[in-house]
Structures are given as C-alpha cells and as structure tokens.
Amino acid sequence: MNNKEPLIHITRRADIGWKKAWVIRGAAIITALIISAIAVTLATGLDPFSVYGKMFEGAFGSPRKMWILGKEIAFLLCVSLALTPAFKMKFWNLGGEGQILIGALVTSAIMIYVGESLPNGALIPLMFIAAAGAGAIWAGIPAFFKAKWNTNETLFTLMMNYVAIQLVAYYIIIWEVPKGSGKVGIINQDSLAGWMPDLAGQKYLFVILLVALMTIGIHVYLKYSKHGYELTVVGESRNTARYVGIKVDSVIIRTLLLSGGMCGIVGWMMVSSTDHTITTTLAGGRGFMGIMVSWLAQFNPVAMIFASLLLVFMQRGAAEISTAFQLNQSFGDIITGIILFFLIGSEFFINYRIHMRHKEKEGTENV
C-alpha cells in the first residue's frame, strides 16, 4: 500500500464487554484527575493532593455533611428519574426547572393559606398531591401541544421555565415578610405547619427513603411495565407504535404527566423538608443537572444513583475548596468540567475504535 493511506481510521466497534468499558471510563477519570491536578498547580500553586483531600472532606467530612450529601443526591436523583421516562420516549423535557418551581410554589401557597387550619397529617399529603399535580400540568401543556400539533418540545418546555420563574417572583412580592424585603422568609416558623417531620431523629431520612422507593419504582416502570414498553416503542419509532395500535398521543401526554409530576414532588420536598421558603432560584439548576445525570447513566435508574453521587460530590467538594483555600467558586466548576469532559468523551472510545496507519509492509507491489 503506498503512503497516502489515511493516518487514522475510525471504525465502529462491535459489542465491547462491560469490563473493558469500565476500564476505559476508569482511565478517563484518572486522566481527568491528572489534568485537573496540573491545572490546579499551574493556576494556584497549591498542592493538588491537599485540594483533592479537601474535596473529600467537604463531601464526606462529618455526619452532618454526609446527610446533606445524601439529601442533595436524593433531590438530583429524583429529578433525573423524573426526566428519564420522557427522554426514553425522545421527548426532550428541558422544563424540569419550571416543573420543580411550580410544585414548590403550590406547596408554599398551601402552607401559607391553609397551614394553620389543617393538621400536618392531612396538610403534608395535600401539599404532596397539589405539587405533583402542578408539575404534571406544567409538563402536560407542552406534551399536549406536541401530541396534537407536533410543536417543538425543547423550546416549549424551556419557555415554561421562565413562566414559572416569573410566577414565583410575582407571588414572592405578595407573600413577602416583612414588606419590602423581597423575600418570603421562613414559612410557619412557629407552628411548623407543613414542615416534614424528622424520621428516626433525622431531618432528611424521609426524603432519602422516598427517593429510594421512587428509584425502584421507575426502574420497574421502565423495564417491566406495559406503559414503559409503550413509551420505549414510541421513542424508537412512532410509526411502529401506530402500527401496533399504540395511541401515541396519549402515551406522550401520560408520560409527561408522570415526568412533570415527579419534578413537582421535588419542589414539594425542597419546600417542606429543607428550605421552608421559596425563592426564584430554588431549583438551583437541578432541572438541567438532571438531564446530565440521566444521559450519563444512559437512562438506567441504578446507574443514576452513582452519576448523581459524582455530580453532588463534585459540587460539595468544590464549595469546600473555595472556602478552605479562598479560591473562587468557579475553580471547583473547572475541575467538574474537566472530569465530565473526559467521562463523556470516553464514550467515544467505547463506541469506536481508532486504527493508526499500518507501517510500510515489505514487498508491496509499488511499481
């Protein structure tokens, strides 16, 4: 063969074993840590090992930090679980943020208006149902338009986020305490009406257990239920779905009611269990982070536990190093970015093989 052969060939791999795939992912994380270490040393002159040590401390350093870590994982995981059925159906629900907020708004409203007149035993379930319903409606509107008129769901769900944010901003002014502060303040601080009770003395245990149950539920729903099968078929091919008599429109709407409802529940958890107040930034980007978690885990609910652990760990660790070393918070984000870049990039090497140009062989018949 003469030497004009292309330098690099890229071919698609046949199935790669899961062991080999994890070796590649492991190598990607190690490379990312090395690159981050170099970045740390170059930019700050700090010892990268002490920086990494601090990150661990920030995430796992004390029982309290462990509980916060657990709660944060639960929130993020729950959003990812919520988005996954929609994604499997290839409905790009980018409206997680708004669905969380609207759930939180409804929860707050019930706490404020009927909190004093209902016992917690009835109040908290009422908040739960209302928040789930509000989130479901928020996702159901774009789903309805998609099903009926094939509107673009990415834009529609994204715009619904801004509507939700503005609604929350409006009600914050109505509910603000004290007047003129621009904040709602802690709701029902004295009566604790609508506050999620501690479980076994732990503030966040109930939320964590609930999300654990939802993880199992979504896993079974996607993998073994008739609904899960239908939405997978719709996602892969609407024509096939129609061909076997699946009602595509109602599957789209049904799935998004579930997806939005679960996001609404996250809003309920955040207000009732941790924040006890509402701000426009309450969702904190989880609606978008959840997308990343869902994709990183390739829509597998169990893998999502680890993906959310990784992201929350990086976030908590980054916060810790920014205070411990008085670095800018963005520095932690840089490290997160490097690790995600390598982790997502490694998928390319799992799916494709790269061949370098052969060495010149003897006896090629170049005339």
Q: Please provide residue 296's backbone torsions phi and psi, each rounded to the nearest 5 degrees.
A: -55, -40
Instruction: Tell me how far apart the alpha carbons of residues 282 and 275 are, in angstroms, rounded to a whole number.
Output: 9
Q: Is 300 in the site for another protein (CB under 8 A)?
A: no
Q: Is 8 in the site for another protein (CB under 8 A)?
A: no
Local structure of residue 199 (DSSP, 8 states): B
Amino acid identity, residue 149? W
What is the Rg, in whole angstroms, of the alpha carbon atoms belonging to the chain? 24
The nearest distance, CB 353 to another protein, in angstroms, is 8
Q: Strand pairing of 8-12 and 352-356?
A: antiparallel
Task: Dig out the tokens for 253 from the structure.
Answer: 């709407």
**Using CB under 8 A, which of 67, 217, 227, 275 touches another protein?**
227
Q: For residue 4, with 0-12 CB atoms within 10 Å meaning exposed, 13-18 middle and 19 or more buried, which class applies?
A: exposed
Q: Which residues of 210-231 are buried (b: 16+ CB within 10 A; e: fewer)?
A: bbeebbeebbebbeeeeebebb
Nearest to 336 by CA among 111, 98, 29, 119: 29
Closer residue to another protein, CB minimum distance, 326 or 364? 364
Stretch that binds another protein, among 173-181, 239-247, 252-260, 304-312 (CB under 8 A): 239-247
Residues 154, 268, 144, 76: is their CA dihedral positive or negative? positive
Q: Is 200 in the site for another protein (CB under 8 A)?
A: no
Q: Is 34 in the site for another protein (CB under 8 A)?
A: no
The nearest distance, CB 86 to another protein, in angstroms, is 18
Q: Which residues pair with 271 in a beta bridge?
A: none
Q: Is 244 in the site for another protein (CB under 8 A)?
A: yes
Per-residue contact flags (x/-) with another protein for residues 53 to 92, judged by CB under 8 A: ----------------------------------------
The nearest distance, CB 231 to another protein, in angstroms, is 12
The nearest distance, CB 228 to another protein, in angstroms, is 8
Q: Please provide residue 94's backbone torsions phi and psi, each rounded to the nearest 5 degrees.
A: -95, 15
Per-residue contact flags (x/-) with another protein for residues 335 to 364, judged by CB under 8 A: -----------------------------x
Answer for the pair 267, 138: CB distance below 8 angstroms, yes or no: no
Closer residue to another protein, CB minimum distance, 239 or 326? 239
Closer residue to another protein, CB minimum distance, 9 or 20? 9
Q: Is 236 in the site for another protein (CB under 8 A)?
A: yes
Closer residue to another protein, CB minimum distance, 362 or 365? 365
The nearest distance, CB 177 to another protein, in angstroms, is 46
Answer for the pair 91, 146: CB distance below 8 angstroms, yes or no: yes
Local structure of residue 176 (DSSP, 8 states): -
Task: Dig out the tokens for 50 from the structure.
Answer: 């002490």
Closer residue to another protein, CB minimum distance, 50 or 225? 225
Closer residue to another protein, CB minimum distance, 356 or 367? 367
Sequence-separated (6 or more) residues with CB below 8 Å from residue 336? 311, 314, 315, 318
Instruction: Tell me how far apart the alpha carbons of residues 312 and 318 are, in angstroms, rounded to a whole number.
Output: 10
Closer residue to another protein, CB minimum distance, 178 or 245? 245
Stretch that binds another protein, among 1-9, 77-85, 201-209, 298-306 (CB under 8 A): 1-9
**Using CB under 8 A, which of 50, 225, 250, 351 touches another protein?**
225
Q: Is 14 in the site for another protein (CB under 8 A)?
A: yes
Q: Is 188 in the site for another protein (CB under 8 A)?
A: no
Return the residue matching tokens 């090992």. Answer: 49
The nearest distance, CB 367 to another protein, in angstroms, is 6
Stretch that binds another protein, among 41-49, 181-189, 234-242, 325-333 (CB under 8 A): 234-242
User: Which residues make up the interface to another protein (CB under 8 A)?
Assistant: 1-2, 4-6, 9, 11-14, 220, 224-227, 229-230, 232-233, 236-237, 239-240, 242-247, 364-367
